[in-house]
Structures are given as C-alpha cells and as structure tokens.
Amino acid sequence: MKTDARIAWTLIRGSDRREWWRIALTAIGALLATGLALAAVTVSAVSGQVSIGFGHGLLNQPGQRTGVVATLLLLLVPVFGFLGQCARIGAVHRDRRTAALRLAGASPRQVRRIAALESGPACLAGAVAGFAVFAAVLAGSGRTPPPPAWAGFALVVLGIPVVAALVSGFALREVIAAPLGRLRRVRSEPDRRTAFALLLPGIVLAAAALLLSGNGSGTNPFPPLVISLVLLTSAGALWAAGASAAFMGRRLTAGARSPAVLIAAGRLREDPWAAARTHSALLLVTVVGTGFVGVREVMLTALRVRGGYGPADLDFYTTGLDLTGAAVLVALFVGLCGLAVGAAESLATRRRGLAAQAGAGVPRAVLTRALLLETALPLAPATLLAGIGGMTVHLAYSALVAPDSFPSMLPLLVPVGVYAACLLAAATSLPLLRRMAHPAELRFT
C-alpha cells in the first residue's frame, strides 16, 4: 500500500493541464462533503432543549435536530457518487501511464488501487479547505462547540479522504487496464444482487403495510412505509434504466434507420448498465422530490384549513419545509454534476472510436444527437417510474391527512423538470465532443 501511494503521488505531480480540472472537481466534491459532515457533527453536538434563533426554532428540540442531521448525512450520498464519477474519468485519461504500470508487472487490481489513491491528496485539500471555511463561519457566529465536537471535526477532515478513496476504488472495480494501453469495462449483467435490491425494500414495504392495516399498537407505521416505498421505487427505477437500455439497444440496432439512433443503440447495447450507474442519484432525487412537493402542498393546506396556528407556528413549519426543499435541490444539483462528469467520461473513453467515425465522414451533428439519445432513451422509463413512486407517497399522505380533498397535480412537474435538467447536463459535454471527434485523435491508436 505504501508503494502504491508513492506511485499515486508521483502520477499526480506529473499531471498535465488536461487533468487539473478533474483534480479541481474532486477537491470541490470533497469540500462539499466535508461541509455537510461538519454541519451534521455541529448539530448533533447540541444536547437538550435549547433556544437557537436559526430557522424559527427548528434546532431547539432534540427530535428536530435528529431530522436535520439525517438530512445532512443523506446529502453525502450524491456527493460521494460525484466523487466516484470523477475517479472514473480520471482513469481513462491516464491510460498510457497505467499501461506502463501493467508492462512493469502491476496487476489490474493494483492499477485500480493506484488510480483510487490519486484522489486522496485532492480530497484532503478539499477537506482542509472545507474546514477552513467552516471555522471562519463558526468564528463569525461567536459560538464555541464542546470538546467532543472538535474530535468529530478532526475525524471528518481525516475520514473524508479515506472514504473518498474507498468510493473511488469501488467505482473503478469494473475497469480493466490492458498492458497495451486499452481500457475497458467488464460488462455488468443483472444478477442476484439486483433481485435482492428489489426484494429487501419490498419486504419492508409489505411489513409496513400490514402494520398500517392492523389494529395498531400505538406506533406510527407511515414513516417506515414511506421509506420502504422510496427505496423500492428507486431500486425499480434503477433496474428500469439498465433493462430498458439493454432492450432499446437490441431493438433499435436491428430496426432503426437514423444514423444517430444506430450509434446510440450500439452504445446502449455495449454497456446497458452505465445509465443505471450514472442516473442512480438522480432517480432517488426524483422519487424524493416528487413526494416532497406533494407532501408540502398537503401539509401547508391542512395547517391553513384547521386553523389555530399563529404566524410563528406557520413560519416554523414553512421554514422546515423550505430547508428540506433546499436539501433536495442541492442533491439534484450534485446529481446533475455527476451526470455531466459521467457524460464527459464516456466521451473520453470512446475518443478513438469517435475520431474514427469523424474520419470516416460521420457529421458532428449526428454524433451530437447520438450523445443526447444515450441519456434520453434509458432515462425516460426510469424517470416515469420514479415519478409514479413519488406520486404514490403523495397520494398516501393526502389520503391520511386530507381524505376529502382532491390531490394536487403539481408534483407531476418534478419528473419532467428533472428529465429536462438531465438532458441539459448531458449537453454540457458537447464542447468536449468537438475536441474528441477529431481525426487528429487517431494518432493515439
């Protein structure tokens, strides 16, 4: 491990200007992860009932603080997914150096480990920068956290680079580096793990439904029902993205006449589960966002109809809901950044094939449409399923809180908005396509 770390540091020092943007993105992701983790540690360090002016008393009660901490920790999921995307795109940019390592006797596993360790220094720099910003904000607030919180701060700053390196290694587990400089991915097929991912939340969903229909024991089964429904729908949407990509790749390759559709179908058939890997965080955000918009509408309407709430009470609920919506938007933004990085990684991996197509006379407009279709085709059924899951949460909450009112259709706009945002995020890689789809790239073959 020490030798691998030394090699990784040498490769970082030898990075050219094309790779510094990847290092910068990795540092930004680590900075964001550090900020979220430090905020969670700060909130969890507060004990008992206190009086904090932030958020109209949102942090005064222990139960409310627990919800805030859980939300901050959940936001780490798309951030670490973004770091994994950065690790993948970094691996294909260093193909000639990894080929040299393979020729020197390094195993594929060792090469992947070295590539994962390259993200460590960038993540450490991002973590230190995040702590510096956090310390400045903390000093400006005039509050001093207790000593256990400082131990948690140190653990976060040191732990974020370690976790990021582990995430990078997991993201690179299917990348194979050949001694002659060719990088490829092991084709992933659905296996028992996919069935288990669908079965486990289904069992929890069934158990929660039985509790909800029973005569009850004083516990509220609705929260586990909602959580299991979100997990089940997200897993189903993830499977739908990969399965629909494989199906469309086979069918469109056989019957499509448009060159752009044929190119996109060939890519989907070659690696159908790439869409599931790239869109996983966005599909989860779609389910949560759709359900949240519906729940917010129903809750605020119910509070106004029932009455008896003063302006301070309404501000308390509105502030809590607005902060939750802001967290969903942050998760959406991070997921879109991951999608943009994934699209760039796909182009970097196929730059020789794109250069060959351009050299053979394929118009750039055809390659542009093919790139957008690679995102649009498998994402459509997955987003539809995620929107159905979010609407189910909304309808269930509406039937429980306001059974006599007609449910709002406003949440239906969330899947449409997420789908359009995903296409725009994929379009950010078009400037890179102009550079990759150039016959001059054939000199690297």
Give ∠ CA 245-251-253 in degrees, rounded to 5.
95
Question: Higher model confidence: residue 410 or residue 316?
Answer: 410
Buried b (16+ CB within 10 A) or exposed e, 139-176: eeeeeeeeeebeebbeebbeebbebbbebbbebbebbe
Give the span between the Cα atoms of 236 and 425, in whole angstroms: 23
**Rounded to whole angstroms, how far apart are CA atoms 31 and 123?**
8
Q: Note the pLDDT tens digit of each residue in 262-307.
A: 888 888 888 777 777 778 788 888 988 998 898 888 888 888 777 6
Separation of alpha carbons 173 and 116, rounded Å: 10
- The rounded distance, in Å, linking the Cα atoms of 365 and 359 is 14
pLDDT tens-digit series, residues 367-382: 888 888 888 888 888 8
Q: Which of 140, 168, 185 is the last residue of a domain?
A: 185
Expressed in percent and rounded to 5, the helix, strand and coil fractions of the chain are 80, 0, 20
* Amino acid at residue number 344: A
Q: Is the pLDDT of residue 414 over 90?
A: yes
pLDDT tens column, 142-171: 777 778 888 888 999 988 888 887 877 776
172 and 298 share one domain: no
Residues 62 and 25 in one domain: yes
Is residue 319 pLDDT above 70, yes or no?
yes
Q: Where are the beta strands (DSSP E) in 126-215?
A: 175-177, 183-185
Q: What is residue 198's predicted lDDT score, i.e. its pLDDT?
A: 47
Number of neighbours of residue 316 by Cβ within 10 angstroms: 18
CA-based Rg of the chain, rounded to a whole angstrom? 24
pLDDT-derived band at 89 (thresholds 50, 70, 90) equals low
The 8-class DSSP code of residue 219 comes to -
Contacts of 206 (CB under 8 A, 6+ apart): none
| pLDDT at residue number 90 | 53
Question: Which of 59-63, 121-125, 171-175 shows the lowest mean pLDDT across its residues?
Answer: 171-175
Q: Are residues 120 and 149 in the same domain?
A: yes
Bigger pLDDT: 194 vs 70: 70
Report residue 258 as tokens: 């448009």
Residue 115: HSE in the Cβ half-sphere, 13 Å Cα cutoff: 40
Q: Do residue 27 and residue 143 come from a single domain? A: yes
* Statement: residue 260 has pLDDT above 60: yes
Domain termination site, one of 155, 185, 215 = 185
Domain boundary among 147, 168, 185: 185
Domain that holds residue 398: 192-444
335-344 mean pLDDT: 84
Phi, psi of 205, rounded to the nearest 5 degrees: -65, -45
Least confident stretch, 54-58, 121-125, 340-344, 432-436: 54-58
Structural domain count of the chain: 2
What's the mean per-residue pLDDT of the chain?
76
Q: What is the pLDDT of residue 3?
A: 75
Q: What pLDDT does residue 23 have?
A: 79
Each residue's pLDDT tens digit, 183-222 = 555 444 444 444 444 454 455 555 545 544 444 444 555 5
The position carrying tokens 């969670």 is: 40
Highest mean predicted confidence (pLDDT) among 85-89, 312-316, 318-322: 318-322
User: Both 290 and 167 in a single domain?
Assistant: no
Q: 115-119, 125-129, 202-206: which has the highest mean pLDDT? A: 125-129
Instruction: Report long-range pairs for 92-97 (Cβ below 8 Å, ≥24 apart).
Output: 92/183, 92/345, 92/348, 92/349, 93/18, 93/19, 93/22, 93/348, 94/11, 94/19, 95/177, 95/181, 95/182, 95/183, 96/181, 97/11, 97/14
Q: What is the pLDDT of residue 431?
A: 84
User: How many C-beta atoms surround the C-beta of residue 359 within 10 A?
Assistant: 14
Q: What percent of the chain has pLDDT over 70?
A: 75
In the chain, what is the straight-line distance between the N-terminal and C-terminal CA atoms, in Å? 32
Statement to judge: residues 253 and 359 lie in one domain: yes
Same-domain check for residues 172 and 199: no
Residue 181 pLDDT: 52
Tokens of 75: 């936001």
- Kindly indicate the confidence band of residue 123, based on its pLDDT and cuts at 50, 70 and 90: confident
Asked if residue 325 and residue 231 are part of one domain, the reply reads: yes
Are both 146 and 281 inside the same structural domain?
no
Same domain, 160 and 230: no
